Structure 1
Amino acid sequence: MGSTLAQKVWDAHVVRQGGSGEDLLYVDLQLLHEVNTPQAFDALRAAGRTVRRPGLTLGTEDHNTPTLALDRIIADPAGRRQAQLMRENCAQFGIPLHRLGDPGQGIVHVIGPELGLVRPGMTIVCCDSHTTTLGAFGALAFGIGASQVEHVLATQTLGMRPLRNMVVDIPGRLPQGVTAKDLVLALIARIGTAGGQGHIVEYRGEAVDALSMEARMTLCNMTVEAGSRAGMIAPDETTFAYLAQRPGMPQGAAWEAEVAYWRSLRSDDDAVFDRSVTLDASTLSPYVSWGTNPAQAVPLDGRVPAPGDFAGEAERAAAERALSYMDLRPGTAMRDVAVDAVFLGSCTNGRIEDLRAAAEVLRGRRVADGLHMMIVPGSAGVRRQAVDEGLDRVFAEAGADFRAGAGCSMCAALNEDRLRPGQRAASTNNRNFEGRQGKGSRTHIVSPPVAAATAVAGRLAAPADL
């Protein structure tokens, strides 16, 4: 019996197999941000341990960082303290850190690939669930907890029980105007927020092959919203072309040897998966969430469902609560839902392709009166590229607020970027839980083109509606 892509990467990193069914895995790269790491360093010091491989660890400031200006002080005392501890801990243990204002600073899941640190076949961990993003490169990447962060810092290994394997086959081509964000929303709406629980998901098929690397990162990013521990895509020519442009890549014969190995990282024809799902890409259209979890989503041309539309008692109860919180009436056309704000950014959709897609819609148009559109680049590098391409001028002429700093911003609402109670937003982030973007906030998850069109229309809309 053949092996899946995930099994190949897992098996290549097993240091020791434990009698309890847990494998000890070698970790190629650990990424850190300021929010979930202070306790790991405290435990490290308490045990008198050092960091085993500082060069295989990288820190960045992203969750609490202000975006209005690079010299702005973090307003929240707890957030300010977290950033200060991050700087002190990285300095003490010799870990490279990208601080606010550094050219390499940004959201941890954005800068990893951008800086050439992520490659096929690697094991990558971070104290953040959306580390699944990096599986787009054929890496096994997942989020871990604070105690696990400490273990990796001290040993460069991590104990884990093997996970089950799930494959999502996506034949067909995405129609014009349909993005990877719509694809993953449609998938989660179908299988639910626990549909991938206990599994590593591999995406494959014609639609996946046609995606850019940035779109593949969007797809893998939201894998965790279906309950999965990791999402992966086998590396191919698109992957190699992207990596060839990254800093620190090997050259000449060394590059060819790497690529030859990377080509072997795909599931064998006779590999057996524990679960299989097929989603025809050609049948999809732009999607938008209506409720308070990513599975509560419908096509943009659909309507708000009624609790009675759901078969299970738990689903009906969840729909009732979501409708009450979101202040929506069943049967309302999604295109009739007006919004107060639009957020473009996050580790899901804060890359240069996302900004380009929004700029294409905004070019020659204006943001609706009374609506605030905030655009926050995923990294300092993304912002520089946007300025080089003149996207900043497009945003300014449209009346959008293109922020100076990079970071998680309104996705996590841990800095000043947050909605007021009762405000409704179309957002390109990954989560729409109650209060996710500010206490009492109401979030509709959308793609970048839909976000931009919504900003112009003042209500949920696709570019074709303008």
Structure 2
Amino acid sequence: MAKSLFDKIWDAHVVRSMGGLDVFYIDKHLIHEVTSPQAFDELEARNLSLFRKEQIVATADHNVPTKNQHLPIEEPLSRMQVDKLTDNCRKWNIELFGLGHENQGIVHVIGPELGITQPGMTIVCGDSHTSTHGAFGAIAFGIGTSQVTQVMASQCLLLSRPKRMRITVDGELKKGVGAKDLILYIISKLGTGGATGYFVEYAGSAVRSLSMEGRMTVCNMSIEMGARGGMIAPDETTFEYIKGRPFAPKGERWEQAVAYWKTLYSEEGAPFEQELHYDARDINPMITYGTNPGMGIAINQPIPSQVSASEAVSFDKSLKYMGFNPGETLVGKPINYVFIGSCTNSRIEDLRTVAEFVKGKQKAPHVEAIIVPGSKQVEKQAREEGIDRILAEAGFELREPGCSACLAMNEDKIPAGAYCVSTSNRNFEGRQGPGSRTLLASPLVAAVTAVEGKIVDITQYFN
């Protein structure tokens, strides 16, 4: 029987099946300062050992400061959590990419850039956006704190197999349209629950044309439509990205790895419980107008005038929070803040996109434009390429790595009532700070907004 990419990897990691559940082996376990302390405490309380510490990758990212990282952390909760991670890694002899380490950064950025993330792997983390790693042809998903303990103690999880969905996007993306627009478009069509219970494989010529950074952006936001995770079959783009990275296979092992990776694709006739098809030519620069990622529109289109009866209450509540009205356009709306960062869009390609547009320009005086690289490696590369100077001359502030204003667990918060065009992944009420109003968009849309000081139809730049 023909097999899907997902089934090939899943089947290879089943240790035992029992009663509709699989004992499922995990290759890599990513941990950070927020969801690991309780797991370490449970290990001690139950007198359990750490089964395979060499399979763990640890970093500090969620609530680290993005200024003066060489100084002690001022915010008490952040300091306590980072200190706890440091102490636990020292106690359990786990290598930590902590503050000050050259490999420190957002966990879903450093895994790929260091070559830790590889095709065919199973990867988990106590963070929902672990789906990012699926861009490499891996099964990657977020887990809860109790499951973090399970993996630490056994390197396995007890799971039911998700259903399979394939989303195919064919055709050529228009100028000014990128991976973030593609995934926001899909989520706007499916809604925040349209892929619940599924693991999604993205396919088609438009997906294949994306860089690895773009593919990571797409898979990163799979969770926002309810999916368990997202994945893309590996190809030459994947292999070229991984080759030569610090933790990538070397020499003969590289050749053996690539030979295996080339078998990781969905065979003709492989079963999918649901198949969806989209035309890349229908996708325009996107922006969200509400308080969930499914409330997205083309930037030059109006907010919907009406929705279904089942959505009416939440729709009205969302627009009231955002200060918008049904049927109005966002074009011309003044913006106070622009945030470019998060595990969705903080890689070097994202910073290059921003720098290319803002070079020789100035941000609007009333806009605070914050750029937070995803890792020390991205920060270093940005400085080596002169991107930092371009950004500074345009009035943008390049900070140090961390999750930052994506979820506002540190000092980087958007004030109540202020509008922020953000390249992050969630626009829930208060996500970027109590009372803040978030509009999700691509790095290019964010850059244009910062310069214009308002939302504009960016297609005018590409006609």
Aligning the two structures, in what range does the TM-score lie when normalised by the shorter sequence? over 0.9
Gaps of 5+ in 1: none
Give 1:364's aligned residue.
360
**Pairing 1:315-464 to 2, within 5 Å after superposition:** 315-403=311-399, 405-461=400-456, 463-464=458-459
Change in CA separation of 1:412 and 1:280 when aligned onto 2, cut-off 3 Å? same
Give 2:78's aligned residue.
79
Give 1:160's aligned residue.
159
Which deviates further from its counterpart, 344-353 or 96-105?
96-105
SS at match of 1:355: helix
Amino acid in structure 2 at the alignment position of 1:427: S
- Could you report, residue by residue, the CA deviation over 1:269-326 in whole angstroms, capped at 9, with x for unpaired residues? 01010011111112211000000000001000011223xx212x22111110111000
Give 2:221's aligned residue.
222
Shift of 1:69: 1.6
Contact 2:219 2:231 in 1 (8 A): yes
Shift of 1:65: 0.6
Contact 1:182 1:287 in 2 (8 A): yes
Change in CA separation of 1:98 and 1:67 when aligned onto 2, cut-off 3 Å? same
Give me the whole-angstrom Cα distance separating, in 2, the residues matched to 1:323 and 1:454.
21
Contact 2:285 2:459 in 1 (8 A): no
Amino acid in structure 2 at the alignment position of 1:184: I
Give me the whole-angstrom Cα distance separating, in 1, the residues matched to 2:11 and 2:249.
25
Which deviates further from its counterpart, 356-365 or 249-258?
249-258
Give 2:10's aligned residue.
10
Contact 1:75 1:415 in 2 (8 A): no
Shift of 1:74: 2.8
The equivalent position to 2:307 in structure 1, one of 306, 310, 318, is 310
Give me the whole-angstrom Cα distance separating, in 1, the residues matched to 2:332 and 2:316.
20
Give me the whole-angstrom Cα distance separating, in 1, the residues matched to 2:153 and 2:455.
48
Give 1:129's aligned residue.
128
Contact 2:244 2:250 in 1 (8 A): no
Contact 2:300 2:457 in 1 (8 A): no
Shift of 1:462: 5.0
Give me the whole-angstrom Cα distance separating, in 1, the residues matched to 2:39 and 2:252.
40
- Could you report, residue by residue, the CA deviation over 1:76-132 in whole angstroms, capped at 9, with x for unpaired residues? 322211111111111111111111111000000000011111100000000000000
- Could you report, residue by residue, the CA deviation over 1:392-421 in whole angstroms, capped at 9, with x for unpaired residues? 000000001111x20000001001101111
C-alpha root-mean-square deviation of aligned residues, in Å?
Answer: 1.0
Shift of 1:464: 4.6
Give me the whole-angstrom Cα distance separating, in 2, the residues matched to 1:114 and 1:338.
36
Give me the whole-angstrom Cα distance separating, in 2, the residues matched to 1:50 and 1:341.
46
Shift of 1:268: 1.0
SS at match of 2:415: coil
Gaps of 5+ in 2: none
Instruction: Report sequence identity in percent.
Output: 48
SS at match of 1:335: coil
Give me the whole-angstrom Cα distance separating, in 1, the residues matched to 2:456 and 2:74.
35
Contact 1:361 1:463 in 2 (8 A): no
Give me the whole-angstrom Cα distance separating, in 1, the residues matched to 2:415 and 2:435.
7
Give me the whole-angstrom Cα distance separating, in 2, the residues matched to 1:153 and 1:255.
28
SS at match of 2:258: helix
Give me the whole-angstrom Cα distance separating, in 2, the residues matched to 1:351 and 1:260.
28
Shift of 1:35: 0.6
Contact 1:66 1:72 in 2 (8 A): no
Shift of 1:458: 0.6
1:251 aligns with 2:250: yes
Give me the whole-angstrom Cα distance separating, in 2, the residues matched to 1:260 and 1:108.
28
Give me the whole-angstrom Cα distance separating, in 2, the residues matched to 1:464 and 1:329.
24
Give 2:272's aligned residue.
273
Give 1:239's aligned residue.
238
Amino acid in structure 1 at the alignment position of 2:203: R
Shift of 1:331: 2.5
- Could you report, residue by residue, the CA deviation over 1:145-181 in whole angstroms, capped at 9, with x for unpaired residues? 0110001001111111011000001110111110100
SS at match of 1:187: helix
Amino acid in structure 2 at the alignment position of 1:428: T
Contact 1:454 1:462 in 2 (8 A): no
Amino acid in structure 2 at the alignment position of 1:15: V
